[in-house]
Amino acid sequence: MLETNRILQERYQLKQKLGDNPVRQTWLAIDLQNPNPDRSQVVVKFLPFGGPVQWDDLKLFEREAKILKQLNHSRIPKYRDYFHIEASTLWFALVQEYIPGFSLKELQEQGKRFGEVEARHIAADILKILIYLHNLNPPVLHRDIKPGNLILDDRERVYLIDFGAVQERSPREGASFTVVGTYGYTPMEQFGGRTVPASDLYALGATLTHLLTGTPPADLPQYDARLQFRHLTNASPDFLEWIEKLTEPSLAQRFTSAEEARNALENGMVTPTLKIAPALLNNSGRGGLFNPSVPVPDEIKGWNWGAFLFPYFWPLSNKVWIGLLTWVPYVGWFMCFLLGLKGNEWAWKSRRWRSIQQFKDHQRGWTIAGLLFGIPLSVLLWTAIALIA
């Protein structure tokens, strides 16, 4: 159906497929009716209706076309056309201005690391766009700001693309909603359908942490749900404090508007972040099992049921080799108890973890394994030992 050099609507000649999404296809095309060859390139986004694509997907696609048609900003691709093609599959097509350049995600994949000066420039450009969008009536919320949706052209100008998740009004209380956004860049209130202008500011902040550290926000350690990234960048404390306020998990502690965020960026922070994490960020894997001076995050302290219920194999994946004493007769029961009591602390000190969340997920898996297999195995093992004795 869609192939190179095919002409649609007697106007748009497909030239190159962009991206590798087999369902929602995006093509670079030539507008044959545009007399200006410098502006004849367009982007055509296709949505096939049916199969995995349902009504909610079509609603978002049509909303994107409707909103894009109403927008008029130099850093947002301009709407060109909207049509559908009836063939073996019903295709809906959105035509928009082509922005030459690379997405920030593509630049990162090419090995680029962004410094503070570049990050500040990107932040300022995106805030100008958000001020325009949020001051419309009704406000337009993008809801999916991330490196892949930001284009940097050859003149270092930043463009915001892909309005497929856009929202133009708050949902009514009790109304159903579609969860959109990208994990790591999306604040918690958005998952609950309560998106506000400050939600886009959170996504901007999460994007900046990714640009400065090279680490996706979903892989960063957290403290009280706050992203911890200062140890991964040498940006100035003022700029990092500004980003921390953008990414406050609580709406009450975040900037309330893009104007407020821009003023703080240009003039310096005037309202400090209320709670800054202590010096401990991610010190996992540094050893010192029996050294009480080695700090352990408070949120992982407590009884480790996975280590207690499945003590014979838990030490292997957690690299707590002292736990193998559970296989030794007479001291095995005592070591089982110790693993339950000290397992979290020992596992944190023995193995390097990407984040506290990864640590918690790993221990949760061992708890489930202990309930399903550890208890029956322990009963069989100690019954056999008793019979042999």
Q: Going residue by residue through the chain, which has 389 residues, state the pLDDT in tens, using 9 for 90 and above.
A: 688 999 999 999 999 998 777 678 999 999 999 988 878 999 999 988 876 667 778 888 999 999 999 999 999 999 999 999 987 778 899 999 999 999 999 999 999 989 999 999 999 999 999 999 999 999 999 999 999 999 999 899 999 999 988 876 555 554 444 567 899 999 999 887 789 999 999 999 999 999 999 999 999 998 888 999 999 999 999 999 999 999 999 999 999 999 999 999 999 865 444 444 444 457 788 888 888 877 888 878 899 999 988 888 999 999 999 999 988 888 888 898 899 999 999 999 999 888 888 899 999 999 998 888 878 877 787 677 667 75
> For the chain, how many residues are written?
389
Give the model's pLDDT for residue 254: 96
Written as one letter, the residue type at 4 is T
Q: Is the pTM of this model over 0.75?
A: no
Contacting residues for 107 by C-beta, under 8 A, at least 6 apart: 152
Reference 142, options 159, 157, 164, 121; nearest CA is 164
For the chain, the straight-line distance linking the first and the last C-alpha, in angstroms and rounded, comes to 75
Q: How many angstroms separate the CA atoms of 4 and 60, rounded?
A: 27
Q: How many angstroms separate the CA atoms of 344 and 299, rounded?
A: 10
Give the model's pLDDT for residue 297: 84
Determine contact, residues 324/340, Cβ cutoff 8 Å.
no
Give the model's pLDDT for residue 53: 61
| Residue 185, token pair as written in the block | 């860049």
DSSP code string of 23-76? SSEEEEEEETT-S-GGG-EEEEEEEEEBTTB-HHHHHHHHHHHHHHHH---TTS
What are the Cα distances from residue 298, in Å, to 46, 279, 323?
49, 13, 22
Contacting residues for 330 by C-beta, under 8 A, at least 6 apart: none
Give the model's pLDDT for residue 273: 45
Determine contact, residues 281/329, Cβ cutoff 8 Å.
no
H helix or E strand, kind and range, residue 240: helix 237-246
Reference 129, options 97, 148, 151, 101; nearest CA is 151
Q: How many angstroms separate the CA atoms of 93 and 91, rounded?
A: 6
Determine contact, residues 116/180, Cβ cutoff 8 Å.
no
Reference 97, options 155, 39, 33, 156; nearest CA is 39
Give the model's pLDDT for residue 176: 45
| Residue 154, token pair as written in the block | 């050859």
